[in-house]
Amino acid sequence: MTHITFISADGERRQEVQAAAGAVLLEIAQAAGQPLEGTCEGQMACSTCHVIIDAADFPKLGKASEAEEDMLDLAAAATRTSRLSCQIVLDDKVASLTVRVPGECHNMQGM
């Protein structure tokens, strides 16, 4: 199990959830009602699943693939500890993870 803490973009709201090994972070976040669109459903063709991993937790996750890095370059408000949540599969080695959800502003295109 991984204990995940989601923090809202403004830092105001926290939500704690448990995730089983093998779960994808995007799906956990969506099930918890976090505002992540995940438009391409894990195909790495959008960046609406972008999250910012706590700096202390970032090294616990495997390295992002080159394709993921390329997509993160396009994400609004990306940081050095940004990841695409659809590419993060949880395992029991990661006991806890703190994840900041950047908010909905990057989903405004086309509106």
Single residue of 25, 46, 88, 99 touching ligand FES by CB under 6 A: 46
> What sign results for the dihedral spanned by CA atoms 40, 44, 46, 52?
positive
CB of 91 to ligand FES, least distance (A): 19
Give the strands of the sheet with 2-7, arranged side by side: 14-19, 2-7, 96-100, 50-53, 82-84
For residue 83, the surrounding DSSP H or E stretch is: strand 82-84
What would the x/- binding string for ligand FES be over residues 51 to 70, using CB under 6 A? Answer: --------------------
CA–CA gap between residue 91 and residue 74 (Å, rounded): 27
Which range, of 6-14, 42-50, 52-60, 99-107, touches ligand FES by CB under 6 A?
42-50
Per CB under 6 A, 76 contacts ligand FES: no
Query: Toward ligand FES, which CB reaches closer, 32 or 44?
Result: 44
